[in-house]
Amino acid sequence: MAANVMVVVERQYDYPRPEVFRAWTAPEEMARWRGSPGWHVEPDTVTSDLRVGGRHHHVKVRDNDPTTRVTTDAVFIEYFEPDVFVARQRITGDPGIDPDVPLELRVEFTKTGRDHTLVRVVQGPFEPEVAGYHSKGWELELDRLEEYLARRRVREESR
């Protein structure tokens, strides 16, 4: 089956674009929320050279089985803070993804309303039978991002 499905996921956040963009890109921040429930990003594995041509690396590990690891290596092919970044990814360790077939991850940050942000994630191409699984994964991850942003806001306001 050919990989021909793009997954498009959107969510609005009541936070300004620079805050949301930072949560996605700063290594110390993205490690705190990326990964579906049951998974986490190993903070020590995250490296990110935040510029066009810069490389990114992180490893996701299953919470209850640290031997199950999914590694993402990527190159930023577009990087415009706080508008958009596009990474060309090679993902290994995920049984649903062929590591020899590169993926594109595009994350757009659009200002809406007074100072809110529409995040649009576009990733693919996936084979049709695994696209649903990855869609669900993103849906859950974006819930975690909402929780992370709320926690961070409370922390900052309590200072």
Among 27, 42, 62, 135, binds other proteins (CB under 8 A): 135
In one-letter notation, the amino acid at residue 43 is: P
Which range binds other proteins by CB under 8 A, 17-25, 31-39, 59-67, 147-155? 147-155
Q: Which residue has the tokens 């809110």?
A: 116
- Asked if residue 1 binds other proteins (CB under 8 A), the reply is no
Among 77, 82, 93, 148, binds other proteins (CB under 8 A): 77
Among 4, 44, 50, 66, binds other proteins (CB under 8 A): 4
Are the CB atoms for 133 and 96 separated by under 8 Å? yes
> What's the 3-state SS for 123-157?
EEEECHHHHHHHHHHHHHHHHHHHHHHHHHHHHHH
Rounded CA-CA distance 37/133 in Å is 13
- Asked if residue 51 binds other proteins (CB under 8 A), the reply is no
- Asked if residue 48 binds other proteins (CB under 8 A), the reply is no
- Asked if residue 89 binds other proteins (CB under 8 A), the reply is yes
Rounded CA-CA distance 94/42 in Å is 16
Residue closer to other proteins by CB (options 63, 78) is: 78
Contacts of 143 (CB under 8 A, 6+ apart): none
Are the CB atoms for 60 and 70 separated by under 8 Å? yes
List of residues contacting other proteins (CB under 8 A): 4-15, 55-57, 71-75, 77-78, 80, 83-84, 86-90, 102, 104, 106, 108, 110-113, 118, 120, 122, 124-125, 128, 131-132, 135-136, 138-139, 142-143, 146, 150, 153-154, 157-158
